[in-house]
């Protein structure tokens, strides 16, 4: 059974996917308000008003904490509202394939490191800023919370909603494109969009479509989750700047003038298509035409 068709196995009421989506949105919003209020009361800052702690690990923890609640609500909703086995919202395989996760993680991590090396050698103003006292807490928070954040997003967009929308539309590719657009649109509030302009949304949209395609073609979330975790961990731990969503005490900080650079274009035009090709050969994807059309 394909990953998309596993949505049929759900025995919950009609509209179970919509109920799940509403519960996730409400719980995430409420938990975000509560965490932000607690941060203001006990840590002395709230999101949107923290210029003195802009690069602190505490801000990152506050940003990511609501995803933990949303993720737990998703799991409970899949099991008790959709009445679907939790595994089937992640993969079509008999068990979650960690080898796929780590292969995708490693591939994208290698490309990111290569892009960093090329950027440094080409003269980009990238500064090494390692400080053990600030980096170690950042490492702990990132390793604990970023996989939860990325898994929550993948489970919602490329798991629950993909299966629900794909079954309703009877078309996996159309579901991938629609959810990729929604995924990109939801990033419109990120600070980099305000600085770089709406053109950066195309990067998020096409990246969302790319992640949806590898989920659809591979019949599971493993590849998407590995890529997504590597991407966000890199942005939090390895390379940061003073205008993106994650502003941290990473190992390197990029002082370049904010712009849609060659690295983003290279990712969309070359690297993501290349990864699609690599994954298709390694995992011997078949019947892609049927899945596309």
Give the number of other Cβ atoms within 10 Å of residue 175's Cβ: 23
Of the pLDDT bands very low, low, confident and very high (cuts 50, 70, 90), residue 7 is confident
Q: How far apart are CA 239 and CA 159, in angstroms?
A: 29
pLDDT of residue 51: 43
Q: Which of 4, 20, 210 is nearest to 91 (CA)?
A: 4
pLDDT of residue 5: 84
53 has a pLDDT exceeding 50: no
More confident residue, 262 or 218: 218
Average pLDDT over residues 256-281: 93
pLDDT of residue 147: 98
Average pLDDT over residues 259-285: 94
pLDDT tens per residue across span 205-247? 999 999 999 999 999 999 999 999 999 999 999 999 888 777 8
Q: Are strands 126-128 and 252-254 parallel, antiparallel or unpaired?
A: antiparallel
pLDDT tens per residue across span 72-98? 999 999 999 999 999 999 999 999 999
pLDDT of residue 194: 84
Q: How far apart are CA 227 and CA 278, in angstroms?
A: 13
pLDDT of residue 289: 82
pTM above 0.75, yes or no: yes
Of the pLDDT bands very low, low, confident and very high (cuts 50, 70, 90), residue 50 is very low
Average pLDDT over residues 169-197: 90
Distances (CA, A) of 189 to 47, 84, 183, 200, 243: 13, 33, 12, 12, 13
Mean pLDDT of the chain: 91
pLDDT of residue 13: 75
Average pLDDT over residues 22-29: 96
pLDDT of residue 8: 66
Of the pLDDT bands very low, low, confident and very high (cuts 50, 70, 90), residue 55 is low
113 has a pLDDT exceeding 60: yes
DSSP state of 88: G
pLDDT of residue 1: 72
Q: Hey, where are the domains in the chain?
A: 4-292
Q: Which of 183, 192, 234, 188 is nearest to 210 (CA)?
A: 183
The angle subtended at Cα 150 by Cα 12 and Cα 173, nearest 5°, is: 60
283 has a pLDDT exceeding 80: yes
Distances (CA, A) of 60 to 54, 139, 140, 189: 9, 11, 11, 16
Q: Are strands 239-240 and 252-254 parallel, antiparallel or unpaired?
A: parallel
Report yes or no: 137 and 180 within 8 Å, Cβ to Cβ: no
11 has a pLDDT exceeding 70: no
Report yes or no: 243 and 192 within 8 Å, Cβ to Cβ: yes
pLDDT tens per residue across span 141-165? 999 999 999 999 999 999 999 999 9
Average pLDDT over residues 246-269: 90
């Amino acid at each position: 059974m394909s990953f998309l068709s596993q949505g049929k196995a759900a025995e919950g009421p009609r509209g179970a996917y919509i109920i799940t989506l509403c519960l996730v949105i409400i719980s995430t919003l409420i938990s975000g308000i509560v965490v932000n209020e607690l941060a203001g009361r006990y840590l002395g800052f709230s999101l949107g008003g923290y210029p003195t702690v802009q690069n602190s690990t505490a801000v990152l923890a506050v940003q990511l904490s609501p995803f933990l609640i949303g993720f737990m609500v998703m799991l409970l909703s899949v099991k008790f509202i959709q009445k679907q086995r939790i595994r089937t919202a992640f993969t079509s395989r008999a068990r979650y394939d960690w080898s796929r996760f780590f292969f995708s993680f490693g591939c994208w991590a290698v490309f990111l490191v290569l892009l960093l090396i090329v950027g440094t050698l080409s003269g980009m103003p990238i500064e090494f800023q390692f400080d053990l006292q600030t980096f170690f807490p950042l490492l702990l928070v990132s390793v604990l919370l970023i996989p939860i954040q990325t898994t929550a997003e993948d489970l919602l967009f490329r798991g629950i909603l993909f299966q629900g929308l794909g079954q309703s539309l009877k078309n996996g590719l159309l579901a991938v494109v629609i959810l990729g657009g929604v995924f990109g649109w939801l990033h419109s509030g990120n600070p980099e969009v305000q600085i770089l302009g709406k053109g950066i949304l195309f990067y998020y949209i096409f990246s969302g479509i790319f992640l949806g395609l590898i989920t659809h073609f591979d019949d599971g979330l493993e590849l998407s989750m590995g890529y997504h975790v590597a991407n966000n961990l890199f942005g939090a731990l390895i390379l940061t700047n003073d205008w993106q969503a994650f502003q941290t005490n990473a190992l390197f900080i990029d002082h370049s003038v904010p712009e849609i650079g060659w690295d983003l274009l290279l990712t969309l035009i070359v690297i993501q298509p290349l990864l699609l090709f690599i994954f298709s050969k390694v995992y011997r994807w078949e019947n892609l035409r049927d899945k596309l059309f």
